[in-house]
Structure 1
Amino acid sequence: MAVEQSATTGPLTPELMSRMNAWWRAANFLSVGQIYLLDNPLLREKLAIEHVKPRLLGHWGTTPGLNFLYLHLNRVINDTGSNVLFIAGPGHGAPGVVASTYLEGTYSELYPDVSRDEEGIRRLFRQFSFPGGIPSHAAPETPGSIHEGGELGYSLSHAYGAALDNPDLVVACVIGDGEAETGPLATSWHGNKFLNPASDGAVLPILHLNGYKIANPTVLARITPEELKSLMEGFGYTPVFVEGDDPELMHQAMASAFDKAFADIRAIQKAAREDGSRERPRWPMIVLKSPKGWTGPKFVDGKKTEGFWRSHQVPFSDMSKPEHLALLEEWMRSYKPEELFDADGSLKPEIASLAPDGALRMSANPHANGGALRRPLRLPDFTDYAVDVPQPGAKDGESTYIMGTFLRDVMKANLESRNFRVFGPDETASNRLQALFEVTERAWDASTIPEDEHLAHDGRVMEMLSEHMCQGWLEGYLLTGRHGLFSCYEAFIHIVDSMFNQHAKWVKSANAVEWRRPIASLNYLLTSHVWRQDHNGFSHQDPGFIDHVVNKKADIVRVYLPPDANTLLFVTDHCLKSWNRVNVIVAGKQPEPQWLDMDAAINHCTKGIGIWEWASSDAEGEPDVVMACAGDVPTLETLAAVDLLRGYFPELKIRVINVVDLMTLQSSTEHPHGLNDRDFDALFTTNKPVIFGYHGYPWLIHRLTYKRTNHHNIHVRGYVEEGSTTTPFDMVVRNRLDRFHLAMDAIERISSLGSVGVHAREELRDKLTEHARYIRAHGVDMPEVRDWRWPTEA
């Protein structure tokens, strides 16, 4: 439906509309000033070239629309007392968001040097997209923001994550029509099927159609209104259209649209909360169609600018042209700053009074600084879930299933506080976390049939077959002060590489913002991992997310490779207690040997790396070889290789080192968990061969250890992009991470063995030949591989 108003009819009185239009002019004026000016902020003298920044950076095209929407949301907040969180999806829309937060007063409260006077405005202008200043997008430095403007495509999933378990919150999410063309955003419209109107907040999507991206028209702006209306209705929304360029008409139309949307939201929530309605609602959404670069120059150098792609960024930038300088002055004076600001440069009181009070200001909404709302999880004692390990490797267990029983009770302990959820793309049960369904269900607000299992309006497991959506939900949930965990098949977590990237950057930047409080860590469980995807094949075999993660700043990222259930329990508990981190846990879900009892697991994980004395034989002196491992399958293969070496060479002195915390391999000067050189040399020696079995791509170990004394002796086996549909053991053979190759690597590098080792190596090569023949004949691995156990009297 379209909302049409005249200038004299509608919710706004002439006096109110006049003040609101003045606020909008002020916001637009401040936005243009941020992009262009270094000095002369209120144009109290003739504009000169020295008043203009030498480099012009910023995005004007989306800004007047954002200012318009922010203003009208403030009017609704004042009228209704609504608790509204504002998310600016369009990339680089910060000039508008920053301008609005400055007009509300929050900016000056948090940054007192950017005061509410002429000097403060000069500083506001100077800092924007300027060295030592702030970015051109809504960043952690921006009050009221939980969404970086550079995160194109994620705004709506963040909005739905923020609304979960926040029943009094309305998340107003502005979606740029360029952003709407991205895959993550296209998926995010379906968030309305997972929102429970009885216990969650509301999301109000606002699709801002200004028609153009950087240099092209946008798809949604070039389809018919009827087609766009049908599309939004198909997604399950009730769209309200506001279109035009006449400010007076648009003010009345937008006020009516917001009144209707907020009334619809209240009615939906009342039906669910007071009347017990279980029917999935058709939530409102708004489509704003306004000119790109609205109120800016209509033409520059004779070329169409307002309402066209040329206004997307800086409408004109060659300020050496006198006509451009004159045009800038004309443009800025068109907002009549002398009517907006007092003699000292403060916003006139009758305009400033349009800002909501205190925490009702969107720029001061507590949910936008979620760390201030964060409360620690109630966690059961993880040692209560310990697997009994009478001796190393004597019994098998499914590590993630054990972890799932712990997460079940974490969920149960926090049901009342409603601040913990588990996210994953339709893989919770597949990843062996199904114990969660003993205390909660999957969130689901679409239709069901009698045969459905574990679907409920109030479910707390969030599943949708979109890694983008799961990541976006979780980020929005964390950024507004809650806790969660994201489980995913290891190979497909790459789908959110960019989203992880942006979140890690957000956390790094937020750490430098004094008023930002710490948020709970983003915790990944990567399972169904590379070494146990033999049945699915090459497409499911990729451990490279770890490499991507360790590119980020050392104070942000952690990577854990627990080799069994008890170490996984310790790591999970540790990660759920942490904050301002991205924790990556890689653990298999298949039955595998259990190596450490709980006491040993605690000691080992506390250090993050250590010698497994029970598997080593070098207690009487220097080792002949160091056998190191990181990851559950590499640990199994390394220990099996050690068993082989002992059988061939009983007098060989072998040291076994297991790594749980991958970042311990880095120098302590580069990562807070890193070992110093003395401790690293004590473990790995300064001159002995090191055979390192690693879960991922082997060059990462070389990258982490390249400065170490003994780096030239470190030989790493890991995934080298060899895979297929095959047997579990053949996967490690194909990548030369198997016990036979590891044992041969050791023999080849132990100089004391000399020719004695030749015969053993020949036998090991024969074993590889036997393996290849056996799996082709039987379709399973050889019994001696399948049934191998760490010897009792090792």
Structure 2
Amino acid sequence: MTTPPVTATGPPAVALSEEELSRVDALWRAANYLSAGQIYLLDNPLLTEPLRAEHVKPRLLGHWGTSPGLNFVYAHLNRLISAHDVDMMFVTGPGHGGPALLANTWLEGSYPEVAPEAAQDAEGMRTLFRQFSFPGGVPSHVAPQVPGSIHEGGELGYSLAHAFGAAFDNPGLVVACVIGDGEAETGPLATGWHGNKFLDPARDGAVLPVLHLNGYKIANPTLLARIPGEELDDLLRGYGYDPYYVSGSDPVAMHQAMASALEAVLAGIRAIQSGGGPRPAWPMIVLRTPKGWTGPSEVDGKPVEGTWRAHQVPLPAVRENPRHLHALEAWLRSYRPEELFDASGAPVAEVTAVIPRGDRRMGANPHANGGLLLKPLRLPDIRAHAVTVKEPGGTGTEPTRVLGRYLRDVFSANDSARDFRLFGPDETASNRLDAVYEATAKAWQEATEPVDEHLARDGRVLEVLSEHQCQGWLEGYLLTGRHGLFSCYEAFVHIVDSMVNQHIKWLRVHREIPWRRPVASLNYLLTSHVWRQDHNGFSHQDPGFIDHVANKSSEVVRVYLPPDTNTLLSVAEHCLRSRDYVNVIVAGKNETPDWLGAEEAALHCARGAGIWEWACTFPYREPDVVLACAGDAPTIEVLAAVSLLRKHLPELAVRVVNVVDLMRLQPESEHPHGMSDREFDALFTPDRPVIFAYHGYPWLIHRLVYRRANHAGFHVRGYQEHGTTTTPFDMLVLNDMDRFRLVIDVIDRVPGLARTAGVVRQEMATARERHRHWIREHGEDLPEVRNWTWA
């Protein structure tokens, strides 16, 4: 295997002087000492006495293998920032890099500023060590508790996406992103390299990828560390990068090589940002070091440094095995802590000499605590976009098309701030949001053809056919203090299930940390949804993302199902103003009846759920049955069922309840938006049958209301995993949520109706059968369904 040498373009790199070399090496050794100490030590942090078993933690947790490489990169970036006054963030891709980032933020003082108990003295160092992966302490990954972090690294694959999201609309910012070679095997990371095709040198910041090849994952070698050097070089250049290579294990040679490479890289970034022309090849670094560099070379006769055995805890039996205890002490003392920390435990001047000051410290960079920089969006008045509703259902509009015009004006109102973006996987026009192109274009740095539309280097709509990238870009954008919206086909947003898990967990912890400032919410618009994917078929029919999100932290999660255009506008405005939430909005793009005027929609959305008096048969009488709905298609079917009940059973008292905010169904003890039992009973009654037509899987409604007094009276209709390429109404029939089925449910569940309304029930069943034959002959829905209007 051959490795290309370190290369440099532009001005010649300056070699480190003896003094600079000594300072960088001291900082690196100090960070390595602190990283190992966090994994092992409970006491005796400065090794002022011989190490004993009781000084070691009873449970050894953490990851050593990646830490020395991260410390090496961090130390050299510190030197670069100090020498050139660079505004830089640090994104840690390798999983469980917590020891390294905690060590470096402790040394630079940013961690003691937010955690005063971990002061820069012996007792503070003891606290730093003791708290790591310890009950009541901090996790082993780069969690929200670590200043300067926007990326945990525990779930691999998204570091580059987060880095590019942070760099968009942040001119002057350099986002250094260390990519572990295990992480580099993931699909999202492989796609993440393409972020450079969307980065505008004139208006965005820069991303500096550092591909750290230490050769091994938890138990296996890594692909990019084993392929020939020429093949790796071809791969990275094919992605559009100009790679610089730093490889070895001798500290002196490696310090000189890394400093030289970083000087060349920074010069390359600045040359790109001051120039023009076609898309440039952005510089990056490939760093090859041994896994567990500077740690034990072997343990119990087996090699450790440079192997997979260094991944977690190289010496696993320190308390029980005297040889391991002796090896640990020798390892820790090899960093010469007496030279790095004074008698009080504070880092000496040589250690801190290359560390930047103030906000230039990567742990104190305000972009990594985006709420410090967040400004409210300037939002247009939704009443200017609201549709006029003279009577419920008298007109129809395409909700997302109207929302697109609203978002166009959001872009225009925030044009100078450039702190709002729309993200989506090639679906902006398909989802009928294309009015935004009147205000901005799609970001595109590649060549264009005459047939292309709406492409520009400075566009603020980001489309790439990877939901992972859209999610990662948006998360990075939000966590650095901006605003955004992710529009996606409902069925395929599942691709980011794991990513939204992590973001929700991040926000849950972030909200509990006083020094973390609120950030803009992550807003999903899910459209092209299950009930109008009749043309694309079964593969495109899945409303389960709601279930996935509803299982998560109630402090963070919100789910909205607006039934028409004006409620969608009201919900969207609310979500764009909100902070520290994950908001899921599900809305159709096809023409939908307009039920509520602007004022009524705003009031209804504020309530989250309410009785639609105009749809009830006897609104001021105790109902015989409650017909409830959540979602646009279920709302139409419920109201069509009410029309049939008015015609066939005119004496029946029917109450219609529409739910916009799904979390309102939960008890107030379970969710901040939840209703009290009295509110719930006032809507749904404590004892009358409730037929609930729901957008998604019906069992979620049962889970949300299972504690209510009338839970046994709830009968929920929703998606039952029956789908195909068929007509829109047939999708409802296949899943038993059509209007005829709802009328049958009423007859079956209202006491006494089964004896008196048998003829009506039979008519409804006949209508369903007539529908089945009609669509197979004509290829479209029954005229009475296609032409139905509320009256």
* TM-score of the superposed pair, with normalisation by structure 1: 0.98
Aligned equivalents of 1:600, 1:364: Cα separation in 2: 46
Matches within 5 A, 1:436-475: 436-475=436-475
Task: Note if contact 2:403-2:569 (Cα within 8 Å) is conserved in structure 1.
Answer: yes
Query: Deviations 1:709-756 (Å, cap 9, x if unpaired)?
Result: 000000000001000000000001000000011110011111132411
Aligned equivalents of 1:345, 1:38: Cα separation in 2: 16
Query: Deviations 1:629-651 (Å, cap 9, x if unpaired)?
Result: 00000000011011111111101
The residue aligned with 2:201 is: 197
Identity of aligned residues (%): 65
Amino acid at match of 2:6: V
Do residues 91 (structure 1) and 95 (structure 2) align?
yes
Amino acid at match of 2:297: K
The residue aligned with 1:755 is: 755
Task: Note if contact 2:42-2:126 (Cα within 8 Å) is conserved in structure 1.
Answer: yes
Amino acid at match of 2:523: N
The residue aligned with 1:274 is: none
Q: Which runs of 4+ in 1 moved over 6 A?
A: none
Do residues 564 (structure 1) and 582 (structure 2) align?
no
CA positional deviation for 1:417: 0.4
Task: Note if contact 1:87-1:171 (Cα within 8 Å) is conserved in structure 2.
Answer: yes
Do residues 179 (structure 1) and 183 (structure 2) align?
yes
Task: Note if contact 1:4-1:253 (Cα within 8 Å) is conserved in structure 2.
Answer: no
Amino acid at match of 2:5: A
The residue aligned with 1:214 is: 218
The residue aligned with 1:157 is: 161
Pick one of 251, 254, 272 that aligns with 1:250.
254
The residue aligned with 1:37 is: 41
Aligned equivalents of 2:366, 2:155: Cα separation in 1: 22
The residue aligned with 2:271 is: 267
Do residues 606 (structure 1) and 610 (structure 2) align?
no
Aligned equivalents of 1:598, 1:288: Cα separation in 2: 58
Query: Deviations 1:319-375 (Å, cap 9, x if unpaired)?
Result: 201111111111001101011111111111122122101000001001000000000
The residue aligned with 2:315 is: 316
Amino acid at match of 2:74: Y
Aligned equivalents of 1:163, 1:186: Cα separation in 2: 19
Secondary structure of the structure 1 residue equivalent to 2:570: helix
Aligned equivalents of 1:717, 1:652: Cα separation in 2: 21
Aligned equivalents of 1:689, 1:504: Cα separation in 2: 36
Do residues 2 (structure 1) and 5 (structure 2) align?
yes
Aligned equivalents of 2:7, 2:181: Cα separation in 1: 22
Aligned equivalents of 1:583, 1:280: Cα separation in 2: 35
CA positional deviation for 1:602: 1.2
The residue aligned with 2:239 is: 235
Aligned equivalents of 1:483, 1:10: Cα separation in 2: 41
The residue aligned with 2:740 is: 740
The residue aligned with 2:304 is: 305
The residue aligned with 2:105 is: 101
Specify every segment of 5 or more residues in structure 2 that has no aligned partner in the other structure, as ranges: none
Amino acid at match of 2:391: Q
Aligned equivalents of 1:119, 1:240: Cα separation in 2: 41
Secondary structure of the structure 2 residue equivalent to 1:655: strand
Secondary structure of the structure 2 residue equivalent to 1:220: helix
Aligned equivalents of 2:285, 2:490: Cα separation in 1: 38
Amino acid at match of 2:388: D
Aligned equivalents of 1:399, 1:343: Cα separation in 2: 68
Secondary structure of the structure 1 residue equivalent to 2:691: strand
Aligned equivalents of 1:754, 1:144: Cα separation in 2: 66
Query: Deviations 1:142-169 (Å, cap 9, x if unpaired)?
Result: 0100101213110000000000000010
Pick one of 123, 128, 131 that aligns with 1:127.
131
CA positional deviation for 1:619: 2.7
The residue aligned with 1:376 is: 376
Do residues 287 (structure 1) and 286 (structure 2) align?
yes
Aligned equivalents of 2:351, 2:687: Cα separation in 1: 74
Aligned equivalents of 1:476, 1:20: Cα separation in 2: 30
Task: Note if contact 2:181-2:213 (Cα within 8 Å) is conserved in structure 1.
Answer: yes
Aligned equivalents of 2:727, 2:607: Cα separation in 1: 34
Do residues 769 (structure 1) and 769 (structure 2) align?
yes
Aligned equivalents of 2:117, 2:483: Cα separation in 1: 35
Aligned equivalents of 2:316, 2:205: Cα separation in 1: 43
Matches within 5 A, 1:565-580: 565-580=565-580
Matches within 5 A, 1:60-79: 60-79=64-83
Secondary structure of the structure 2 residue equivalent to 1:306: coil
Amino acid at match of 1:459: G
Amino acid at match of 2:400: T
Aligned equivalents of 2:260, 2:446: Cα separation in 1: 29
Query: Deviations 1:733-790 (Å, cap 9, x if unpaired)?
Result: 0000000111100111111324111111111110011000000001100100000011
Aligned equivalents of 2:16, 2:554: Cα separation in 1: 53
CA positional deviation for 1:10: 5.3
Aligned equivalents of 1:579, 1:10: Cα separation in 2: 46
Aligned equivalents of 1:575, 1:19: Cα separation in 2: 49
Secondary structure of the structure 1 residue equivalent to 2:226: coil
Aligned equivalents of 2:221, 2:790: Cα separation in 1: 65
Query: Deviations 1:52-101 (Å, cap 9, x if unpaired)?
Result: 00101000000000000000001110111010000010000010111000
The residue aligned with 1:82 is: 86
Secondary structure of the structure 2 residue equivalent to 1:626: strand
Aligned equivalents of 1:618, 1:714: Cα separation in 2: 21
Aligned equivalents of 2:513, 2:316: Cα separation in 1: 31
Specify every segment of 5 or more residues in structure 1 that has no aligned partner in the other structure, as ranges: 272-276
* TM-score of the superposed pair, with normalisation by structure 2: 0.98
Matches within 5 A, 1:508-527: 508-527=508-527
Secondary structure of the structure 2 residue equivalent to 1:59: coil
Amino acid at match of 1:81: D
The residue aligned with 1:707 is: 707
Amino acid at match of 1:2: P
Aligned equivalents of 1:408, 1:560: Cα separation in 2: 22
Aligned equivalents of 1:15, 1:605: Cα separation in 2: 65
CA positional deviation for 1:210: 0.3
Task: Note if contact 1:88-1:147 (Cα within 8 Å) is conserved in structure 2.
Answer: yes
Task: Note if contact 1:10-1:253 (Cα within 8 Å) is conserved in structure 2.
Answer: no
Secondary structure of the structure 1 residue equivalent to 2:116: coil
Do residues 113 (structure 1) and 89 (structure 2) align?
no
Aligned equivalents of 1:530, 1:313: Cα separation in 2: 45
CA positional deviation for 1:4: 7.7
Aligned equivalents of 1:618, 1:136: Cα separation in 2: 61
Task: Note if contact 2:121-2:346 (Cα within 8 Å) is conserved in structure 1.
Answer: yes
CA positional deviation for 1:621: 2.0
Secondary structure of the structure 1 residue equivalent to 2:117: coil
Aligned equivalents of 2:416, 2:277: Cα separation in 1: 21
Task: Note if contact 2:7-2:261 (Cα within 8 Å) is conserved in structure 1.
Answer: no
Secondary structure of the structure 1 residue equivalent to 2:224: coil
Do residues 329 (structure 1) and 329 (structure 2) align?
yes
RMSD of aligned alpha carbons: 0.9
Aligned equivalents of 2:283, 2:14: Cα separation in 1: 20
Aligned equivalents of 2:457, 2:573: Cα separation in 1: 28
Amino acid at match of 2:502: Q
